[in-house]
Structure 1
Amino acid sequence: MDLPRDDRVLSPYTGYTRAHWEAAADALLAAVEPYAGDDLALYDLPGEHTSRSGRLSDGLEGYARTLLLAAFRRDENVLERYAAGLAAGVSGVWPRIEDRSQPLVEAASIALALRLTRELLWDRLDDAVRGRAAAWLSDALTARAWPCNWELFPVTVGGFLREIGHETRACRTAVERGLERIEQWYLGDGWYTDGDGRKFDYYNGWAMHLYPVLHAWLEQDEGLLDRYGDRLSRHLADHARLFGADGAPVLQGRSLTYRFATAAPLWLGALTGRTPLPAGTTRRLASGTLRYFLERGAVDERGLLTPGWHGPDETLLQDYSGPASPYWASKGFLGLLLPPGHEVWTATEAPGPTEAADAVTAVGPPNWLIQSTRSDGLVRLHNHGSEDVRYDPYYTRLAYSTVTRPSDSCDNSVTVGGRAGRTGIEPLGTGEGWAASRHTVADAIRVTNLVVAEGAVEVRAHLVTGAAAGTPVRITGWAARDGARSELLPVFGLDDALTGTVTGPSGLFVALARLTARPDPPPLRELVSVTVEDTCELVVRWATGTERRFRFTVPDEPSALSEPSVRTVPPQVTGNP
């Protein structure tokens, strides 16, 4: 990809400016053009058509998701190509929008693009094409959606169709229904779960916030914008902490092949004025994640986005992923809607939270602990409350980071009796420097988990209950990764191989863990002392002078973990663990 030279004056962290974003958008749009069909309605990108929707739907996906990029870029010549494709698509080429069908997803991208570029595309179509396009889109108003972020696709379609005066009553119903549905999934502090359960991931930013905030902004409805914009602003305070200093987002959740779509909510906050972030920090984070992926093989030799994370990687895909699925990354170019003179483009880049200071941040609704270190720019996410309805290693592990990915050997897990599964995750709370949860391993076996963190160091404690005496237990830490050092040391109940045995009605197992990119970090045992008192009270004494006590209680009580006291003591290590 041919990009301008870095500008290290305006952008001292990434070198990227608006010109880089424009050039990247132009290159991505030019690369997909040869794969458009003769009528320009379908984009048949190379790759295995293994998605559950089929080849025709995959072609529509290629059209819709790249149209969204063209809409943000607002290049009239490119939009003419998509106008021709629209005319052909609604004349019988595109599959109908039916209940819970992939075309419902793509209809939202098409409707949003048409609304954003109305004077450049829609208003230039003849009446017959507009009529057929509105009729095709209108099926989205009544199609049943999957009970998750899909509920927002009829909202997006309804907003556009109501604006052009098509079936306004049905549009109003669809919009109100969708917005009402997501209310039951809003858990406060800027966080939604993606449908029933506790599915927390990047869909919060690139779907659950994106669509309602854009809808309110385009409607110029200040009441709606206050509601959804304020939620977005609160969410961004946490979202901004999920990027490493190298621009990498934390590798957690599903649909990770959308890559730099993680930048979309950052731009959205700036676009609507609902963000806690300085303009220079917004651009630094967004440009950082774009550069991160472009420099690591996200785009192949043909200029196409590949299904994967860095380069192609089928292990990262879901059953709905097709060759064009990665182009939801187009959402990351939302910032191009901001004019060149906007402060988000003219301000000097400012550091992101990871570069500003070491931090251990508790995030209440998902029951997460975000741990970042300035010295190496790494971010670690301790997961004590997010779980998908299906088994997915990107949801079920105890921790994720910006430099590691789940391994086949079940990293960041507790294996009891040879079983490492983690289901039925119950959040038990978060606090200053800690998070806790409980999960089921098998049958009546449950594990109560606690992580206490400071700097790059973690104390991990696991109370196993319901297992027969003699049951073996194994603790695993971070997967190995080039450029980062992983450590796991036994403290209590474990031998040097990080294995132990349940000896009574319950067993407590404690270890020290660290993931760091520092070449020569201080020894772990010099940074923290951990002791267990009365078999159930954990005492953590940091070398910085803070002491924390945690008492494990019977799992059937309302709380399986309490923190009766947190007090500061003179800076000293009181003894080896």
Structure 2
Amino acid sequence: MKLPGDDHALSPHTGYTRDHWIAVADGLLAAAWRWATPGGARLDLPGPPSGSGVRSDGLEGFARTFLAAAFRVAGEAGKDPHGWLERYAGGLDAGTRTPGRDDAESWPLIGDHPVAGQPMVESASVALGLRLTRPWLWDHLAPAVQDRVEAWLRGALRHVPAPNNWYLFPFTVAGFLASVGRADAETAQARDRALELLDGWYRGDGWYGDGDGRAFDHYNGWALHLYPVLDAHLAGGPAPFGPRLREHLASFGLWFGGDGAPLHFGRSLTYRFAAASAVGLGAVTGDTPLRPGVSRRLLSGALRYFLDRGAVDEHGLLSLGWHGPHAPTVQHYSGPGSPYWASKAFVCLLAPPEHPLWTSTEEPAPSETADTVLALPAPGLLLQATRDDGVVRLHNHGSDGVRPHEAEAAAGDHPHYGRFAYSTRTGPTARDNPADNHFAVVVSGARSVRRRIHPLGAGQADGWGWAASWHRPVFGSGPATVPGLRVESVTVVRGRDELRVHRVLGAPPGASVEETGWATAPGESVLRPLAGWTGRAEVRAPHGTAFVPWVSLSRLTGDVDGTAVFVALAALGGEAGDSVASVVEEGVDVGWPDGFAVRIRFGPLRVDGGP
């Protein structure tokens, strides 16, 4: 991948300009097309297949790279010096001649989510790519090819999506069909249903749930905001969802560290710099509170972060992982073409060269400007950033990834949702290794996991903030739950300090508790007992994380029978403050040497702090 030289006058933080984005898009496309079928209908990229099989994976490679090509060509007002659209036109023709046939070119048919649903995801990228490039691609296809493409796309309107952001895939297909004069009752129904669901999923603070449950992660930006806001922008009409995107971006800028890394939290993290797509979308549509120089800092910072750390392999392809390949980051539905949902970040190229996004001088990211604490009560999240190291930490008291119909113990530990804290510099440990940032009740040798999270509130004041939740511990062996067992948890942050308070209720005789700290190399984090704990040790996680191949964790232990309170102070990247805690009948009082104190009271929960 050949990139222009860095421009540190215009982009003092990243050196990247719009020309870098174009060069990256061209480089990724050129590498991917080396693996195309003879007719260009599928890009059968090398690597282990997804659960949907290699034919679906080949369609995924075509559709997701098409999205990058579409943003790249549309952003240049149709200029296509490498002839990308000609290749995709040939693929559209070849793939839709005999859909469903088991041969080298034919696209798989779109089915219901549980049966053969993955092509529905890819139909949205195909439809959006066609809508973006209509004057230069769709309008030049033969009428028979147009009809075949429409027939294949309509499968998305006639089958059942997954009960989450998937409803925006038929919405996007219907939007394209309407834009080329092929709207009907079927397209209207798909759009109305998606918008109805989207309204029901909106929880406030700029955040949607990914379905009826409490999954809040990067899907909020790269799916739930992107599809409806971009649809309105391309239609040239009012943007009813623009204010929600603006509200989201008011806090989302803090989801990126000073090194450009997005928070390593939630599923599908192999999409990497797609995490910045909402930032680019807001700059293009004007639905953003971020200054253009800040938006470009976030966008280019995320792009460069991954390029500099090996996300592109020796073949020029995006690997399945985070920096480089990393199996625990990958979901079962991900195949070799999956990482190319990163193409969504190229939405920023819809801003032309003279747009302020590209002409303004880069400014620092929010994580680089000051120590910041930000509470998001709607999703139940608490953000904590420290300026000196640029690290952002997310304290999770509301996002669990448990679908409404699932039993709490159905899937066991979920490393990318169940932990109490995540950051831009650490990843969760893998399953079957000691869990980082975890509070467990241990009964008969079995450690509990946290599945469904019940938020109790979140708030912030000058220089500090808090978030709280409760959960029912569930176990992978023995009885799934213990009747009456409950854990109430509060996190208070100030500077780099993290006060972690847990009240256990209903613990059976002989039970014990454990709490772990950050997954780092030895000496790079602290977990200090303040009250309730009787043991302290270091444990190892040999499988490491997405960031480093081997880590150790601090672990505190204690005994519990009935009700008890446990208090610890943690810090990532340095020493924790010399706080002192005292447990009282109603809760906990904690004081710092500078006179600041926090008072936590349970039942009902109340958190107060100040000098």
**CA–CA distance in 2 between the matches of 1:174 and 1:524?**
53
**CA–CA distance in 2 between the matches of 1:54 and 1:84?**
23
Question: Cα offset for 1:162?
Answer: 0.9
**Partner of 2:532 in structure 1?**
493
Q: 2:457 pairs with 429, 441, 451, which one?
A: 429
**Partner of 1:540 in structure 2?**
590
Report which stretch shifted further, 341-350 or 543-552.
Answer: 543-552
**Partner of 2:374 in structure 1?**
361
Unaligned runs of at least 5 residues, structure 2: 74-78, 99-105, 403-410, 474-480, 537-555
Do the aligned residues in 2 keep the contact of 1:424 with 1:439 (CA within 8 Å)? yes
1:425 corresponds to which letter in structure 2? I
**CA–CA distance in 1 between the matches of 2:122 and 2:63?**
6
**CA–CA distance in 2 between the matches of 1:52 and 1:123?**
35
Q: 2:318 pairs with 297, 305, 311, which one?
A: 305
- Secondary structure of the residue aligned to 2:589 is strand
2:596 corresponds to which letter in structure 1? T
Note the alpha carbon deviations across 1:121-166, whole angstroms, 9 max, x for none: 1111111111111121122222211110000001100011011111
**Partner of 1:68 in structure 2?**
67
2:528 corresponds to which letter in structure 1? L
Note the alpha carbon deviations across 1:86-108, whole angstroms, 9 max, x for none: 11111111111222211111010
**CA–CA distance in 1 between the matches of 2:6 and 2:217?**
32
1:180 corresponds to which letter in structure 2? E
Q: 1:466 pairs with 506, 516, 539, which one?
A: 506
**CA–CA distance in 2 between the matches of 1:38 and 1:372?**
50
Question: Cα offset for 1:524?
Answer: 2.7
Do the aligned residues in 2 keep the contact of 1:148 with 1:196 (CA within 8 Å)? yes
The question of 1:82 aligning with 2:88 is answered yes
Q: 2:364 pairs with 335, 351, 355, which one?
A: 351
The question of 1:411 aligning with 2:411 is answered no
**CA–CA distance in 2 between the matches of 1:459 and 1:507?**
17
Question: Cα offset for 1:548?
Answer: 2.1
**Partner of 2:423 in structure 1?**
401
**Partner of 1:455 in structure 2?**
495
1:15 corresponds to which letter in structure 2? G
**CA–CA distance in 1 between the matches of 2:275 and 2:143?**
37
**Partner of 1:4 in structure 2?**
4
**CA–CA distance in 2 between the matches of 1:136 and 1:485?**
53
Question: Cα offset for 1:545?
Answer: 4.0
The question of 1:208 aligning with 2:224 is answered yes
**Partner of 2:581 in structure 1?**
530
**Partner of 1:515 in structure 2?**
572
Do the aligned residues in 2 keep the contact of 1:413 with 1:420 (CA within 8 Å)? no
**Partner of 2:542 in structure 1?**
none
Q: 1:470 to 1:99 in 2, by over 3 A?
A: closer
1:261 corresponds to which letter in structure 2? A
Matches within 5 A, 1:190-229: 190-222=206-238, 225=239, 227-229=240-242
Unaligned runs of at least 5 residues, structure 1: 554-558, 570-577
- Secondary structure of the residue aligned to 2:507 is coil
Matches within 5 A, 1:214-293: 214-222=230-238, 225=239, 227-293=240-306
Question: Cα offset for 1:543?
Answer: 4.1
- Alignment RMSD: 1.4
**Partner of 1:556 in structure 2?**
none
- Secondary structure of the residue aligned to 2:448 is coil
Question: Cα offset for 1:167?
Answer: 4.0
TM-score (structure 1 length as normaliser): 0.93
**Partner of 2:547 in structure 1?**
none
Q: 2:142 pairs with 117, 126, 129, which one?
A: 126
**Partner of 1:572 in structure 2?**
none
2:342 corresponds to which letter in structure 1? A
**CA–CA distance in 1 between the matches of 2:263 and 2:448?**
23
Q: 1:525 to 1:355 in 2, by over 3 A?
A: closer
1:141 corresponds to which letter in structure 2? L
Do the aligned residues in 1 keep the contact of 2:371 with 2:385 (CA within 8 Å)? yes
**CA–CA distance in 1 between the matches of 2:577 and 2:592?**
10
**CA–CA distance in 2 between the matches of 1:450 and 1:131?**
57
Question: Cα offset for 1:427?
Answer: 0.4
Question: Cα offset for 1:481?
Answer: 4.0
**Partner of 2:161 in structure 1?**
145
1:461 corresponds to which letter in structure 2? V
Question: Cα offset for 1:468?
Answer: 2.1
The question of 1:502 aligning with 2:560 is answered yes
Report which stretch shifted further, 202-211 or 129-138.
Answer: 129-138
Question: Cα offset for 1:525?
Answer: 4.0
Note the alpha carbon deviations across 1:348-398, whole angstroms, 9 max, x for none: 001111001101110111111100000111010000011112442100000
**CA–CA distance in 2 between the matches of 1:329 and 1:2?**
19
2:419 corresponds to which letter in structure 1? R
State, as a whole percentage, how many aligned pairs show the same letter.
Answer: 53
**CA–CA distance in 2 between the matches of 1:231 and 1:468?**
46
Note the alpha carbon deviations across 1:432-484, whole angstroms, 9 max, x for none: 111111111132321111111101011111111111244211111111148x8
Do the aligned residues in 1 keep the contact of 2:535 with 2:558 (CA within 8 Å)? no
TM-score (structure 2 length as normaliser): 0.88
- Secondary structure of the residue aligned to 2:508 is coil
Do the aligned residues in 2 keep the contact of 1:469 with 1:501 (CA within 8 Å)? no
Q: 2:471 pairs with 416, 439, 446, which one?
A: 439
**Partner of 2:406 in structure 1?**
none
Report which stretch shifted further, 359-368 or 165-174.
Answer: 165-174
Q: 1:104 pairs with 114, 120, 126, which one?
A: 120
**CA–CA distance in 1 between the matches of 2:380 and 2:287?**
24
Question: Cα offset for 1:213?
Answer: 0.5
Question: Cα offset for 1:424?
Answer: 2.3
Report which stretch shifted further, 74-83 or 371-380.
Answer: 74-83
Do the aligned residues in 2 keep the contact of 1:489 with 1:496 (CA within 8 Å)? no
**CA–CA distance in 1 between the matches of 2:364 and 2:501?**
34
Question: Cα offset for 1:323?
Answer: 0.8
**Partner of 2:353 in structure 1?**
340
